[in-house]
Structure 1
Amino acid sequence: MRNKTRVLIVEDNADLAENIFEFLGENEYELEYASGALTALHLLDSQSFDVIVLDIMLSGASGLDIARRLRKDMNDQTPIIFMTAMGAIENKEDGYSSGGDDYLVKPFDLRELALRIDALHRRRSRIDTVLRAGDVSFNPGTLEVHVEPRGKFRLSGLAAHIFEALIRSHPDFISYASLSARLWPEQGVDANTLRTHIWLLRKQLQEAYGMPMIKTLHGRGYILDVSGQ
Protein backbone atom coordinates (compact mmCIF):
# COMPACT_ATOMS: atom_id res chain seq x y z
CA MET A 1 0.00 0.00 0.00
CA ARG A 2 1.35 3.43 -0.90
CA ASN A 3 1.92 6.08 1.73
CA LYS A 4 -0.93 8.55 1.70
CA THR A 5 -0.22 11.94 0.17
CA ARG A 6 -0.87 14.66 2.77
CA VAL A 7 -2.85 17.51 1.22
CA LEU A 8 -4.05 20.78 2.74
CA ILE A 9 -7.22 22.10 1.07
CA VAL A 10 -7.78 25.85 1.57
CA GLU A 11 -11.20 26.80 0.16
CA ASP A 12 -13.96 29.07 1.51
CA ASN A 13 -16.70 27.53 -0.65
CA ALA A 14 -18.05 24.80 1.63
CA ASP A 15 -19.79 22.88 -1.18
CA LEU A 16 -16.67 22.73 -3.34
CA ALA A 17 -14.51 21.80 -0.35
CA GLU A 18 -16.90 18.97 0.52
CA ASN A 19 -16.78 17.66 -3.07
CA ILE A 20 -12.98 17.76 -3.08
CA PHE A 21 -12.80 16.00 0.28
CA GLU A 22 -15.22 13.30 -0.79
CA PHE A 23 -13.39 12.61 -4.05
CA LEU A 24 -9.83 12.71 -2.71
CA GLY A 25 -10.80 10.86 0.46
CA GLU A 26 -12.01 7.95 -1.62
CA ASN A 27 -8.64 7.89 -3.40
CA GLU A 28 -6.46 7.49 -0.31
CA TYR A 29 -5.24 11.01 0.33
CA GLU A 30 -4.73 12.28 3.87
CA LEU A 31 -6.56 15.60 4.03
CA GLU A 32 -6.73 18.71 6.19
CA TYR A 33 -9.07 21.61 5.58
CA ALA A 34 -9.03 25.36 6.18
CA SER A 35 -11.79 27.76 5.13
CA GLY A 36 -9.76 30.93 5.69
CA ALA A 37 -6.26 32.34 5.80
CA LEU A 38 -5.74 32.30 9.57
CA THR A 39 -6.62 28.63 9.93
CA ALA A 40 -4.48 27.78 6.90
CA LEU A 41 -1.43 29.58 8.30
CA HIS A 42 -1.88 27.89 11.67
CA LEU A 43 -1.98 24.45 10.03
CA LEU A 44 1.04 25.24 7.87
CA ASP A 45 3.02 26.38 10.89
CA SER A 46 2.14 23.33 12.99
CA GLN A 47 2.01 20.52 10.41
CA SER A 48 3.71 19.46 7.20
CA PHE A 49 2.06 18.61 3.90
CA ASP A 50 3.05 17.11 0.57
CA VAL A 51 0.88 19.45 -1.51
CA ILE A 52 -1.25 22.55 -0.80
CA VAL A 53 -4.41 23.23 -2.82
CA LEU A 54 -5.09 26.92 -2.32
CA ASP A 55 -8.02 29.12 -3.32
CA ILE A 56 -7.01 32.69 -4.15
CA MET A 57 -10.09 34.58 -2.91
CA LEU A 58 -10.23 33.96 0.85
CA SER A 59 -11.30 35.78 3.99
CA GLY A 60 -8.56 37.36 6.07
CA ALA A 61 -5.91 37.30 3.35
CA SER A 62 -5.71 36.10 -0.22
CA GLY A 63 -4.19 32.83 -1.32
CA LEU A 64 -1.45 34.88 -2.97
CA ASP A 65 -0.61 36.42 0.41
CA ILE A 66 -0.46 32.97 2.01
CA ALA A 67 1.88 31.72 -0.72
CA ARG A 68 4.20 34.72 -0.35
CA ARG A 69 4.34 34.30 3.41
CA LEU A 70 4.96 30.58 3.07
CA ARG A 71 7.85 31.07 0.64
CA LYS A 72 9.50 34.17 2.12
CA ASP A 73 8.73 34.24 5.85
CA MET A 74 8.40 30.52 6.60
CA ASN A 75 10.89 29.37 3.94
CA ASP A 76 8.54 26.50 3.05
CA GLN A 77 8.76 25.05 -0.46
CA THR A 78 5.74 22.72 -0.28
CA PRO A 79 4.17 22.60 -3.79
CA ILE A 80 1.14 24.87 -4.21
CA ILE A 81 -1.76 24.42 -6.65
CA PHE A 82 -3.86 27.56 -6.95
CA MET A 83 -7.54 27.09 -7.80
CA THR A 84 -9.59 30.10 -8.82
CA ALA A 85 -12.25 31.36 -11.19
CA MET A 86 -9.81 34.01 -12.46
CA GLY A 87 -8.27 32.57 -15.60
CA ALA A 88 -6.68 35.57 -17.32
CA ILE A 89 -2.96 35.36 -18.06
CA GLU A 90 -2.37 38.29 -15.67
CA ASN A 91 -3.98 36.31 -12.86
CA LYS A 92 -1.82 33.31 -13.64
CA GLU A 93 1.28 35.52 -13.65
CA ASP A 94 0.34 36.71 -10.16
CA GLY A 95 -0.14 33.14 -9.01
CA TYR A 96 3.17 31.83 -10.27
CA SER A 97 5.14 34.91 -9.18
CA SER A 98 3.79 34.59 -5.63
CA GLY A 99 5.22 31.08 -5.35
CA GLY A 100 2.60 28.84 -6.95
CA ASP A 101 3.62 25.67 -8.80
CA ASP A 102 0.38 25.04 -10.69
CA TYR A 103 -2.82 26.91 -11.51
CA LEU A 104 -6.25 25.33 -11.97
CA VAL A 105 -9.17 27.41 -13.24
CA LYS A 106 -12.66 26.72 -11.85
CA PRO A 107 -14.75 24.85 -12.70
CA PHE A 108 -12.50 21.82 -13.08
CA ASP A 109 -12.77 18.05 -13.10
CA LEU A 110 -11.76 16.59 -9.74
CA ARG A 111 -9.83 13.89 -11.55
CA GLU A 112 -7.60 16.59 -13.02
CA LEU A 113 -6.98 18.01 -9.56
CA ALA A 114 -5.91 14.55 -8.35
CA LEU A 115 -3.61 14.12 -11.36
CA ARG A 116 -1.94 17.47 -10.68
CA ILE A 117 -1.50 16.68 -6.99
CA ASP A 118 0.13 13.36 -7.86
CA ALA A 119 2.40 14.97 -10.46
CA LEU A 120 3.67 17.63 -8.05
CA HIS A 121 4.20 15.07 -5.31
CA ARG A 122 6.16 12.77 -7.65
CA ARG A 123 8.27 15.67 -8.89
CA ARG A 124 9.15 16.72 -5.37
CA SER A 125 9.88 13.16 -4.26
CA ARG A 126 12.34 12.64 -7.12
CA ILE A 127 14.51 15.57 -6.07
CA ASP A 128 14.45 14.83 -2.35
CA THR A 129 17.63 13.24 -1.03
CA VAL A 130 17.91 11.80 2.45
CA LEU A 131 20.62 13.64 4.39
CA ARG A 132 22.71 11.65 6.87
CA ALA A 133 25.04 12.35 9.79
CA GLY A 134 26.03 9.29 11.79
CA ASP A 135 22.89 7.51 13.02
CA VAL A 136 20.76 10.57 12.23
CA SER A 137 19.03 11.15 8.90
CA PHE A 138 16.61 13.76 7.58
CA ASN A 139 14.30 13.55 4.57
CA PRO A 140 13.60 17.06 3.16
CA GLY A 141 10.54 15.74 1.34
CA THR A 142 8.73 14.20 4.29
CA LEU A 143 10.45 16.43 6.91
CA GLU A 144 11.15 13.31 8.97
CA VAL A 145 14.10 12.95 11.32
CA HIS A 146 15.19 9.34 11.81
CA VAL A 147 17.52 8.38 14.64
CA GLU A 148 18.69 4.76 14.83
CA PRO A 149 17.31 2.84 16.68
CA ARG A 150 14.83 5.30 18.20
CA GLY A 151 12.66 5.79 15.11
CA LYS A 152 11.16 8.70 13.17
CA PHE A 153 9.85 12.10 14.16
CA ARG A 154 8.25 14.62 11.81
CA LEU A 155 9.17 18.29 12.03
CA SER A 156 7.30 21.22 10.51
CA GLY A 157 7.72 24.90 9.64
CA LEU A 158 10.95 26.63 10.60
CA ALA A 159 12.02 23.74 12.81
CA ALA A 160 12.40 21.53 9.74
CA HIS A 161 14.42 24.15 7.88
CA ILE A 162 16.72 24.72 10.86
CA PHE A 163 17.37 20.99 11.18
CA GLU A 164 18.03 20.69 7.45
CA ALA A 165 20.55 23.53 7.60
CA LEU A 166 22.31 21.90 10.56
CA ILE A 167 22.56 18.44 9.01
CA ARG A 168 23.71 19.86 5.66
CA SER A 169 26.49 21.71 7.51
CA HIS A 170 27.57 18.68 9.57
CA PRO A 171 30.28 17.96 10.67
CA ASP A 172 30.95 21.70 10.55
CA PHE A 173 28.95 24.32 12.42
CA ILE A 174 26.68 26.89 10.82
CA SER A 175 27.16 30.50 11.86
CA TYR A 176 24.41 32.64 13.31
CA ALA A 177 24.51 34.89 10.23
CA SER A 178 24.37 32.02 7.73
CA LEU A 179 21.47 30.34 9.50
CA SER A 180 19.52 33.60 9.76
CA ALA A 181 20.12 34.34 6.07
CA ARG A 182 18.88 30.88 5.11
CA LEU A 183 15.72 31.16 7.20
CA TRP A 184 14.89 34.80 6.49
CA PRO A 185 16.67 35.66 3.21
CA GLU A 186 14.95 39.01 2.65
CA GLN A 187 14.77 40.43 6.15
CA GLY A 188 16.95 40.73 9.19
CA VAL A 189 15.95 39.23 12.53
CA ASP A 190 17.35 39.83 15.97
CA ALA A 191 19.39 37.19 17.77
CA ASN A 192 16.63 36.51 20.27
CA THR A 193 14.26 35.37 17.52
CA LEU A 194 16.76 32.81 16.24
CA ARG A 195 17.56 31.63 19.77
CA THR A 196 13.85 31.12 20.44
CA HIS A 197 13.43 28.90 17.37
CA ILE A 198 16.55 26.91 18.30
CA TRP A 199 15.20 26.43 21.83
CA LEU A 200 11.85 25.19 20.49
CA LEU A 201 13.58 22.72 18.14
CA ARG A 202 15.80 21.44 20.95
CA LYS A 203 12.71 20.91 23.08
CA GLN A 204 11.01 18.86 20.33
CA LEU A 205 14.10 16.71 19.82
CA GLN A 206 14.57 16.22 23.55
CA GLU A 207 10.98 15.04 23.91
CA ALA A 208 11.23 12.74 20.88
CA TYR A 209 14.69 11.25 21.42
CA GLY A 210 15.84 12.16 24.92
CA MET A 211 18.61 14.41 23.60
CA PRO A 212 18.57 17.98 22.24
CA MET A 213 21.05 17.23 19.39
CA ILE A 214 22.00 20.90 18.89
CA LYS A 215 25.04 22.48 20.51
CA THR A 216 25.73 26.19 20.75
CA LEU A 217 29.26 27.30 19.91
CA HIS A 218 29.28 30.63 21.71
CA GLY A 219 30.22 33.51 19.46
CA ARG A 220 30.19 31.26 16.39
CA GLY A 221 26.92 29.43 15.74
CA TYR A 222 25.31 26.01 16.09
CA ILE A 223 26.35 22.45 15.32
CA LEU A 224 24.42 19.19 15.08
CA ASP A 225 25.54 16.75 17.77
CA VAL A 226 24.98 13.15 16.65
CA SER A 227 27.08 11.55 19.37
CA GLY A 228 23.97 10.36 21.22
CA GLN A 229 25.02 12.06 24.43
Structure 2
Amino acid sequence: MRILLIEDEVRLASFVQQGLSQAGHVADVAHSGPEGLERAATVAYDLILLDMMLPGQNGLDVLRNLREFGLGAVPVIILSALSDTAHVIRGLDAGAVDYLRKPFELDELLARLRALDRQRAQPGAAPLQVADLELDPLHRAVTRAGQPISLTNREFALLELLLRNAGRVVPKTRIAEKVWEVDFDMGSNVIEVHVSQLRRKLDKAFPHLPPLLETVVGHGYRIKN
Protein backbone atom coordinates (compact mmCIF):
# COMPACT_ATOMS: atom_id res chain seq x y z
CA MET A 1 0.00 0.00 0.00
CA ARG A 2 0.99 3.62 -0.46
CA ILE A 3 0.58 5.21 2.97
CA LEU A 4 0.66 8.78 4.25
CA LEU A 5 1.80 9.14 7.86
CA ILE A 6 0.82 12.49 9.42
CA GLU A 7 2.86 12.64 12.62
CA ASP A 8 4.75 15.55 14.19
CA GLU A 9 7.03 13.45 16.44
CA VAL A 10 10.02 13.15 14.11
CA ARG A 11 11.63 10.10 15.77
CA LEU A 12 8.36 8.18 15.91
CA ALA A 13 7.54 9.10 12.33
CA SER A 14 10.95 7.87 11.16
CA PHE A 15 10.57 4.61 13.10
CA VAL A 16 7.09 3.91 11.72
CA GLN A 17 8.11 4.88 8.18
CA GLN A 18 11.06 2.48 8.31
CA GLY A 19 8.85 -0.32 9.66
CA LEU A 20 6.27 0.22 6.94
CA SER A 21 8.95 0.20 4.26
CA GLN A 22 10.43 -3.05 5.58
CA ALA A 23 6.94 -4.57 5.44
CA GLY A 24 6.69 -3.72 1.75
CA HIS A 25 4.68 -0.50 1.92
CA VAL A 26 5.54 2.89 0.44
CA ALA A 27 5.28 5.51 3.18
CA ASP A 28 5.39 9.30 2.96
CA VAL A 29 5.53 11.52 6.05
CA ALA A 30 3.96 14.89 6.82
CA HIS A 31 4.70 16.65 10.11
CA SER A 32 1.68 18.97 10.35
CA GLY A 33 -2.02 18.99 9.57
CA PRO A 34 -1.80 21.42 6.62
CA GLU A 35 1.16 19.56 5.11
CA GLY A 36 -0.73 16.27 5.43
CA LEU A 37 -3.80 17.69 3.71
CA GLU A 38 -1.68 19.08 0.88
CA ARG A 39 -0.02 15.72 0.31
CA ALA A 40 -3.34 13.84 0.51
CA ALA A 41 -4.86 16.17 -2.09
CA THR A 42 -2.04 15.64 -4.59
CA VAL A 43 -1.13 11.95 -4.21
CA ALA A 44 -3.48 8.96 -4.38
CA TYR A 45 -2.89 7.18 -1.07
CA ASP A 46 -4.35 3.82 -0.06
CA LEU A 47 -4.29 4.71 3.64
CA ILE A 48 -3.61 7.61 5.98
CA LEU A 49 -2.13 7.17 9.47
CA LEU A 50 -3.10 10.24 11.47
CA ASP A 51 -1.94 11.66 14.78
CA MET A 52 -4.51 13.70 16.72
CA MET A 53 -2.27 16.39 18.22
CA LEU A 54 -0.69 18.15 15.25
CA PRO A 55 0.68 21.63 14.66
CA GLY A 56 -1.31 23.85 12.33
CA GLN A 57 -4.46 21.75 12.45
CA ASN A 58 -5.51 18.96 14.78
CA GLY A 59 -6.39 15.47 13.63
CA LEU A 60 -10.16 15.89 13.87
CA ASP A 61 -10.02 18.97 11.65
CA VAL A 62 -7.82 17.05 9.20
CA LEU A 63 -10.44 14.29 9.06
CA ARG A 64 -13.23 16.79 8.40
CA ASN A 65 -11.21 18.53 5.70
CA LEU A 66 -10.39 15.24 4.01
CA ARG A 67 -14.12 14.71 3.52
CA GLU A 68 -14.60 18.28 2.31
CA PHE A 69 -11.79 17.80 -0.21
CA GLY A 70 -13.49 14.67 -1.58
CA LEU A 71 -11.01 12.29 0.07
CA GLY A 72 -13.44 10.61 2.43
CA ALA A 73 -13.00 7.27 0.69
CA VAL A 74 -9.35 7.00 1.76
CA PRO A 75 -9.27 4.94 4.99
CA VAL A 76 -7.75 6.67 8.02
CA ILE A 77 -6.28 4.99 11.10
CA ILE A 78 -5.72 7.28 14.06
CA LEU A 79 -2.51 6.93 16.07
CA SER A 80 -2.88 8.94 19.25
CA ALA A 81 -1.84 9.32 22.87
CA LEU A 82 -5.38 10.58 23.53
CA SER A 83 -6.49 7.16 24.65
CA ASP A 84 -9.67 7.68 26.68
CA THR A 85 -12.92 6.30 25.33
CA ALA A 86 -14.37 9.73 24.52
CA HIS A 87 -11.47 10.55 22.16
CA VAL A 88 -11.68 7.13 20.50
CA ILE A 89 -15.41 7.57 19.88
CA ARG A 90 -14.87 11.10 18.58
CA GLY A 91 -12.20 9.92 16.12
CA LEU A 92 -14.25 7.00 14.82
CA ASP A 93 -17.37 9.15 14.49
CA ALA A 94 -15.32 11.69 12.52
CA GLY A 95 -14.60 9.02 9.90
CA ALA A 96 -11.56 7.01 11.00
CA VAL A 97 -11.75 3.25 10.37
CA ASP A 98 -9.57 2.36 13.36
CA TYR A 99 -7.93 3.93 16.42
CA LEU A 100 -4.58 2.75 17.77
CA ARG A 101 -3.51 4.10 21.15
CA LYS A 102 0.07 5.27 21.71
CA PRO A 103 2.43 3.80 22.64
CA PHE A 104 1.82 0.89 20.28
CA GLU A 105 3.80 -2.04 18.94
CA LEU A 106 4.74 -1.83 15.28
CA ASP A 107 3.64 -5.45 14.82
CA GLU A 108 0.14 -4.54 15.96
CA LEU A 109 -0.03 -1.68 13.47
CA LEU A 110 1.13 -3.98 10.66
CA ALA A 111 -1.47 -6.58 11.68
CA ARG A 112 -4.21 -3.95 11.46
CA LEU A 113 -2.96 -2.95 8.02
CA ARG A 114 -3.14 -6.58 6.88
CA ALA A 115 -6.70 -6.82 8.21
CA LEU A 116 -7.64 -3.65 6.33
CA ASP A 117 -6.01 -5.01 3.17
CA ARG A 118 -8.12 -8.17 3.44
CA GLN A 119 -11.27 -6.07 3.71
CA ARG A 120 -10.25 -4.07 0.64
CA ALA A 121 -9.77 -7.34 -1.25
CA GLN A 122 -13.48 -8.17 -0.94
CA PRO A 123 -15.59 -8.28 -4.16
CA GLY A 124 -16.31 -4.54 -3.99
CA ALA A 125 -12.60 -3.94 -4.61
CA ALA A 126 -12.48 -6.00 -7.82
CA PRO A 127 -11.11 -4.14 -10.88
CA LEU A 128 -13.67 -2.23 -12.94
CA GLN A 129 -13.35 -2.36 -16.72
CA VAL A 130 -15.11 -0.85 -19.72
CA ALA A 131 -13.60 -1.47 -23.14
CA ASP A 132 -9.84 -0.85 -22.73
CA LEU A 133 -10.25 1.30 -19.61
CA GLU A 134 -9.54 -0.37 -16.26
CA LEU A 135 -9.66 0.95 -12.70
CA ASP A 136 -8.23 -1.06 -9.82
CA PRO A 137 -9.76 0.18 -6.52
CA LEU A 138 -7.43 -1.96 -4.41
CA HIS A 139 -4.20 -0.51 -5.81
CA ARG A 140 -5.76 2.80 -6.89
CA ALA A 141 -4.48 2.36 -10.44
CA VAL A 142 -6.04 3.35 -13.76
CA THR A 143 -4.97 2.26 -17.24
CA ARG A 144 -6.27 2.69 -20.77
CA ALA A 145 -5.02 0.41 -23.52
CA GLY A 146 -2.42 -0.77 -21.02
CA GLN A 147 -1.08 2.76 -20.44
CA PRO A 148 -1.13 4.09 -16.85
CA ILE A 149 -3.15 7.24 -16.21
CA SER A 150 -2.32 9.52 -13.28
CA LEU A 151 -5.40 10.88 -11.52
CA THR A 152 -5.94 13.07 -8.51
CA ASN A 153 -7.91 11.59 -5.62
CA ARG A 154 -11.08 13.37 -6.66
CA GLU A 155 -10.69 12.40 -10.32
CA PHE A 156 -10.19 8.80 -9.20
CA ALA A 157 -13.36 8.90 -7.08
CA LEU A 158 -15.32 10.46 -9.95
CA LEU A 159 -14.16 7.84 -12.43
CA GLU A 160 -14.88 5.00 -10.00
CA LEU A 161 -18.44 6.29 -9.54
CA LEU A 162 -18.96 6.52 -13.30
CA LEU A 163 -17.52 3.05 -13.92
CA ARG A 164 -19.69 1.48 -11.22
CA ASN A 165 -22.63 2.93 -13.17
CA ALA A 166 -21.25 2.25 -16.67
CA GLY A 167 -23.83 2.87 -19.37
CA ARG A 168 -26.08 4.83 -17.00
CA VAL A 169 -26.23 8.60 -16.64
CA VAL A 170 -24.96 9.82 -13.27
CA PRO A 171 -26.54 13.18 -12.39
CA LYS A 172 -24.57 16.05 -10.90
CA THR A 173 -26.46 15.78 -7.62
CA ARG A 174 -25.26 12.21 -7.12
CA ILE A 175 -21.71 13.13 -8.08
CA ALA A 176 -21.78 15.94 -5.52
CA GLU A 177 -23.04 13.55 -2.84
CA LYS A 178 -20.65 10.67 -3.55
CA VAL A 179 -17.47 12.46 -4.64
CA TRP A 180 -17.54 15.74 -2.73
CA GLU A 181 -19.53 14.41 0.24
CA VAL A 182 -20.48 17.92 1.34
CA ASP A 183 -23.09 20.43 0.31
CA PHE A 184 -21.77 22.96 -2.15
CA ASP A 185 -23.15 25.39 -4.69
CA MET A 186 -24.70 23.28 -7.44
CA GLY A 187 -24.66 26.38 -9.59
CA SER A 188 -20.87 26.39 -9.68
CA ASN A 189 -18.84 24.74 -12.41
CA VAL A 190 -16.67 22.65 -10.07
CA ILE A 191 -18.00 19.32 -11.34
CA GLU A 192 -17.73 20.41 -14.98
CA VAL A 193 -14.08 21.39 -14.44
CA HIS A 194 -13.23 17.98 -12.95
CA VAL A 195 -15.12 16.16 -15.71
CA SER A 196 -13.18 18.19 -18.29
CA GLN A 197 -9.87 17.26 -16.65
CA LEU A 198 -10.90 13.60 -16.52
CA ARG A 199 -11.96 13.67 -20.20
CA ARG A 200 -8.60 15.16 -21.16
CA LYS A 201 -6.78 12.26 -19.47
CA LEU A 202 -9.11 9.46 -20.59
CA ASP A 203 -10.09 10.49 -24.10
CA LYS A 204 -8.10 13.40 -25.49
CA ALA A 205 -4.83 11.75 -24.47
CA PHE A 206 -5.83 8.77 -26.65
CA PRO A 207 -7.07 10.37 -29.91
CA HIS A 208 -6.79 7.06 -31.78
CA LEU A 209 -9.32 5.42 -29.44
CA PRO A 210 -13.08 6.02 -29.24
CA PRO A 211 -14.10 8.48 -26.50
CA LEU A 212 -15.66 6.93 -23.41
CA LEU A 213 -16.73 9.85 -21.20
CA GLU A 214 -19.98 11.38 -22.39
CA THR A 215 -21.88 14.48 -21.29
CA VAL A 216 -25.65 14.05 -21.44
CA VAL A 217 -26.79 17.67 -21.54
CA GLY A 218 -29.28 18.51 -18.83
CA HIS A 219 -28.88 15.14 -17.12
CA GLY A 220 -25.31 14.32 -16.17
CA TYR A 221 -22.40 12.16 -17.29
CA ARG A 222 -21.74 8.55 -18.17
CA ILE A 223 -19.07 6.14 -19.28
CA LYS A 224 -20.22 4.47 -22.49
CA ASN A 225 -19.97 0.68 -22.42
Q: Does TM-score exceed 0.5, indicating one fold?
A: yes
Counterpart of 1:37 in structure 2: which amino acid?
Answer: G
Q: CA deviation at 1:56?
A: 0.6
Match of 1:180 among 158, 166, 176: 176
Counterpart of 1:131 in structure 2: which amino acid?
Answer: L
Q: Could you say which residue in structure 2 is the equivalent of 1:112?
A: 108
Q: Could you say which residue in structure 1 is the equivalent of 2:53?
A: 57
Counterpart of 2:27 in structure 1: which amino acid?
Answer: L
Retained in 1: the 8 A contact 2:7–2:32?
A: yes
Q: CA deviation at 1:203?
A: 2.6
Q: Could you say which residue in structure 2 is the equivalent of 1:68?
A: 64
Identity level (%):
28
Q: CA deviation at 1:114?
A: 1.5
Once the two structures are overlaid, the 10-residue window that deviates more, 212-221 or 51-60, is 212-221
1:24-103 counterparts in 2 under 5 A?
24-103=20-99
Match of 1:191, SS state, is coil
1:189-200 counterparts in 2 under 5 A?
189=185, 190-200=187-197
What is the aligned-residue RMSD (CA, Å)?
2.1
Structure 2 portions without partners, runs of 5+:
none
Alpha-carbon distance in 1 for matches of 2:172, 2:74: 25
Residue 198 (structure 2) pairs with residue 204 (structure 1): no
Alpha-carbon distance in 2 for matches of 1:107, 1:165: 38
Q: CA deviation at 1:153?
A: 2.5
TM-score normalised by length of structure 1: 0.87
Counterpart of 1:216 in structure 2: which amino acid?
Answer: T
Q: CA deviation at 1:83?
A: 0.7
Structure 1 portions without partners, runs of 5+:
none
Match of 2:121, SS state, is helix
Question: What whole-Å deviation, never above 9, does each CA across 1:192-217 have from its counterpart, x for those lacking one?
Answer: 11111112222333575446642222
Retained in 2: the 8 A contact 1:143–1:154?
A: no
Question: What whole-Å deviation, never above 9, does each CA across 1:95-145 have from its counterpart, x for those lacking one?
Answer: 100111111111111121111122212212224122222232222222322
